[in-house]
Each structure stands twice: as C-alpha cells, then as structure tokens.
Amino acid sequence: MAKIHPFRGLRYNPEKVANLASVVTPPYDIIDDAAQARYYAEHPANIIRLELGLMFPQDSPENNRYTRAKQYLDKWLEDEILVPESSPALYLYQQSFEHRGRDMVRTGLVCGLAVEDYSTGNVLPHEETLSKPKADRFQLMQHTRCNFSSIFGLYIDEAKAIDGLMLAYTQDRAPDIDIIDEAGEGHRIWVIDDASVLSSIVQIMSKKKIYIADGHHRYETALDFAKSIKKAGYDYVLTTLVNVYDEGLVVFPTHRLVGNLPDFDHPTFRKKLAALFEVEPFTGGNVAAFLNEVETAGQNGYTFGMYSKGGLFILKLKDPQAAFQRLPEDKSDAWKALDVAILDYLVLDQILNIGEEQRRNQENLAYTRSERFLAEQVDGGHYQIGFLLNATKVQDIVAVANARDKMPQKSTYFYPKLITGLIVNDLEIK
C-alpha cells in the first residue's frame, strides 16, 4: 500500500519574510500572465520565481526560467530566506473557507509520498494527463531537485485515526504558520516531529491506497524523475492527503460551454435531446433558483441544466440503462455511472458531434466553474449553449479509480486549491 515519509521541509524564515502571505501563490496551473506579473511585483522572494518563472525572448539553454529558478533557490538558501526543518517532519495543514454561507475547515496531512507506477494499485489516478505540462515540470525538477507545489491526494479513513493523532498532538500549540491569502481563506500549518506520532501515522497510512485528486502531471513527473535519476531518496513527492470523510472536502462541478457550431438550430437540437431526456423549461425564477432545482432533481436521477437564448431547461435522463448501452464498451460501470460521462458522450459527442479529440482541444468547447461566467458568455453571444452539471461525488471518484479507469476531462474541481509556498520539498536535503 502507500508509503509516506517525513521530510525536512523548507519554510520561509519569518525573520526575513515578515508577511508570509506576500510570498505564496495559488497553484501554477491556474496562474495567468497578469497574476504572474503581480506575484513577481509583490515580493522579491515570492515563490513564483521558483515555481513559474518568467520567460524572455533571449532565453537560452544556459539562461532560462529553470536555470533562474535554481539560482534563486540557491541564493535564498544561502541568505536563509528559506530554511530547512531541523528534523524530518509531517505537517498538519488546515484550510478555512466559506462555502454556501457556512464556515468550513479542511484538514490535510502534508508528507512525502513514495512514487510508483499506477499498475501497483497503491496510488491511483482519476483523470488523463497531457504531455506538455509534464515536460515543463520535469525540466523544473531536473534543475532544482524540488517540489514547490503539493499534489492533492485522498485516502479512506472512516475512523479518522490519522486526523485524531495529528489533532491530539497539536491541540495545545499555536500553528507554526498562520496566514490569510488574497482570497480571504485561511491557511494554518503545524509541524509534527515527534518520533512516536510520526511512526504511528506512517504505519496507519501504509494500509491505505492514495487517490490523486489534483496534480496528476506533477505526480507522473516526479515518477519519471525518480526513474531517470535512479538514486535513493529521490523517489517521493510533496503531497497533501485529505480523508474522504473530512467534513471540509468540497468538490465543485466544471460546466460546459458550447460554441462555433455551424448551422446550429436550437429547436432541432431540443427535439434530438427529447429522445434521451425529459426537456423541461424552467420558469421558476433566477439562475440561483434554477441551479437549486438542478441539484435537487439530480439527487433522484441524472439531471443537467441547459442555458441558452432559448431559455432555461432542465434535462432529466429518461432511461439510464439504455443510455449506458450507448457509452464506450471499454469503460467500467463506475465510469458509465458518471453524470459527466453521460453529458460528454451522449450530448456533446453523439448529438452535437463534438468528439473526444475536439473536447480535448476545446475547438467547440470551453470549461468554467462559474455559473455567472457561463450565463454571461451565452447572453453575450460568445457561446450558443451552456450545460450546468452537479458536482461529482467523492465516492464516485474513488470508484472510478478503483476500477482502474480515468474520468472524462474536467470532471472535478476540488475547492479550495492548495496554496504554493508554505512548505517546499527539497530532495537534496536529507
């Protein structure tokens, strides 16, 4: 089963960086050019310089974003801007945020996770990856020997034994890190370095499987790096693990926007939909009420919202078993039971002729987590239809991974994202 390791994490020195919130960022893959420039300007030691450095026209093999990241890292270590933990540790990480008017806390364990092939069944993915992001991350690892941002993984611990150990050890201590980020969300870290507690946590986790929730590219990059370097102590990756029974584990849906379809006719499309779905016009109020209706109806069957200039519609699948027969034969029953599989393959593919390759390339498709953005894009004529999904359940994600299947693209959005820069895993520090 899964192997985790305590490690000597690098942390910002509070004597050199008074405001830790000024040097951290969201994950690199959601940072656009404007945000990248803003983080560069915010603080000369912002983690952006290591994780997602600027590129310039004059870059060369000898001077580029990866070589500059290594130079910054070495300088910050020399100047003790970043300092290693005095002994190997695990970390309790709590994120506080608001969700639907409620104050929430998500509890995680930050550790080094041993990387191994998915075929062993100890660490399982739930979605496909692309080659370009992996090539970028591999070069960064080659030059710096570091993980700057954490993988997000799930494990199953109904008794909450690991959470109990961490919380008992830290209950009478102030956090070692305590910040509020730019989104108003809280991040607290406690260092766990007691040998007995570490041993107990490692032992309990050794009986668990790990399900990658976010960070597939980084995990596969770390595995490729370990295979390439073939040295002991380089075969683990910075990972934050959250129990699937954690009350703060929130998954948002990723909605679909469809556009640039030639000769698209909404009445004709609705007739085709009617062969599979009950297509019900919604006249009950605003978009918020519409979303509530989609969610409520989704508790009793496969249900989607459709937003177009033709109005608001609720789509309810008529015959799930007949629908499953039209899905790819090589997919597992767990995969076929996903809402997103029904929408992508029955509606986008078979009715609108937006095939898997077009979906991957986003030729006629865009993805968004924001219902407001979806409505604005349709109202503005930028897209012809918006499809609103209910969130994928965590147990469905686990079921698909256990079936050794991978979910359709953009199936999940775990919220909130892990912040980058609180703890760095430097593989050179033992």
The pLDDT, as a whole number, for residue 129 is 63
Concatenating the DSSP letter of every residue in 203-217 gives HHHTT--EEEEE-HH
Residue 262 neighbours by CB under 8 Å, 6+ apart: none
Helix, strand counts (H, E) of the chain: 15, 21
Least Cα distance to 234 among 424, 425, 91, 47 occurs for 425
Residue-wise pLDDT for 110-147, tens only, equals 999 999 999 999 999 987 666 667 889 999 999 999 99
- Write down the mean pLDDT value for the chain: 94
The pLDDT, as a whole number, for residue 131 is 62
By CB neighbour count within 10 A (0-12 exposed, 13-18 middle, 19+ buried), where does 95 fall? buried
Residue-wise pLDDT for 135-187, tens only, equals 899 999 999 999 999 999 999 999 999 999 999 999 999 999 999 999 999 99
Confidence of residue 61 (pLDDT cuts 50, 70, 90): very high
Residue-wise pLDDT for 362-417, tens only, equals 789 999 999 999 999 999 999 999 999 999 999 999 999 999 998 888 888 999 99
* Mean pLDDT in residue range 211-229: 94
The pLDDT, as a whole number, for residue 22 is 97
The pLDDT, as a whole number, for residue 105 is 98
346, 324 contact by CB (below 8 A): no
Where do the domains of the chain lie, and which CATH numbers do they carry? 4-250+415-426 (3.90.1530.10), 254-390 (3.30.1760)
CA–CA dist 303, 117 (Å, integer):
36
- Judge whether residue 42 has pLDDT over 80: yes
- Judge whether residue 53 has pLDDT over 90: yes
- Judge whether residue 430 has pLDDT over 90: no
426, 85 contact by CB (below 8 A): no
| Furthest C-alpha separation in the chain | 68
Residue-wise pLDDT for 231-259, tens only, equals 889 999 999 999 999 999 999 999 999 99
The pLDDT, as a whole number, for residue 232 is 86
Least Cα distance to 170 among 190, 193, 195, 196 occurs for 190
Residue-wise pLDDT for 293-344, tens only, equals 999 999 989 999 999 987 899 999 999 999 999 999 999 999 999 999 999 9
